Amino acid sequence: MRSDRVAYDVTVARWEPNARERLESAALDLFVENGYEETTVAQIADRAGMNRATFFRHFADKREVLFGGEDVLAGLFADAIKSAPLGATLTECLQAALAAAEAAMTPQQRAKAAQRVLLVAANSEVQERGLLKHARIARSISAALRERGQDELAARLGAELTMLAFRVAFERWMKATDDEPFSPFATAALSDLQARAAELVLPSRLSA
């Protein structure tokens, strides 16, 4: 039974090496060339040298092919929080999450991201899917923070702050020169936001 499964995996790998990545690249190219609306799943699969069935084995629909990276990010954030050192503060958990994003923020991803940003901005159906993905990432961060002993509100606040820091870092990273690593942008964005948060917190603390 076990050897059957291994044999099957090898077969799939032989026929569809990096299938997800190839489908994502093909989709992005076609969306840019012909427009998102005008591109069909069949065309994406064809460009990637596969068939429609293979596309749907990897993505639930046409929009989903634009957000594979979001699923990766959700995993990276949650794993980093769960494996942060014992006794890590809330801030340290968020720093660990943002530092872990580095693995997904490669120069190749950066090139694709620029195209994706334009596509998402131009199509509200795609934008909606992006927001659903972001809400799911936030939920996975807040679940990980609760596992680390944070209460419900601290976990949700921490998740929103991480997402906002990530978005700010991402925007700045996209404007920077090509080969800069993502981590310093993430660290700076979180710290800039914490400075703004101080204004929201300190007056009431001082008057308490």
- Residue ranges binding its own copies (CB under 8 A): 89-91, 94, 124, 127-129, 131-132, 134-135, 151, 153-154, 156-158, 160-161, 164, 168, 191-194, 196-205
With respect to its own copies, which residue has the nearer C-beta, 42 or 132? 132
Min separation Cβ 6 and its own copies, Å: 35
Q: What angle do CA 29, 34, 36 make, to 5 degrees?
A: 80
Min separation Cβ 22 and its own copies, Å: 27
CB 21 within 8 A of CB 48: no
Of 52, 15, 31, nearest to 126 by C-alpha is 31
With respect to its own copies, which residue has the nearer C-beta, 124 or 177? 124
Answer positive or negative: Cα dihedral of 159, 160, 161, 166.
positive
Min separation Cβ 148 and its own copies, Å: 13
Report d(CA 148, CA 155) in Å as an integer: 9
In the chain, the N- to C-terminal Cα span, in Å, equals 66
The residue assigned the tokens 């077969």 is: 11
Min separation Cβ 166 and its own copies, Å: 12
With respect to its own copies, which residue has the nearer C-beta, 53 or 208? 208
With respect to its own copies, which residue has the nearer C-beta, 94 or 100? 94
Report d(CA 109, CA 111) in Å as an integer: 5
With respect to its own copies, which residue has the nearer C-beta, 48 or 94? 94
Min separation Cβ 179 and its own copies, Å: 26
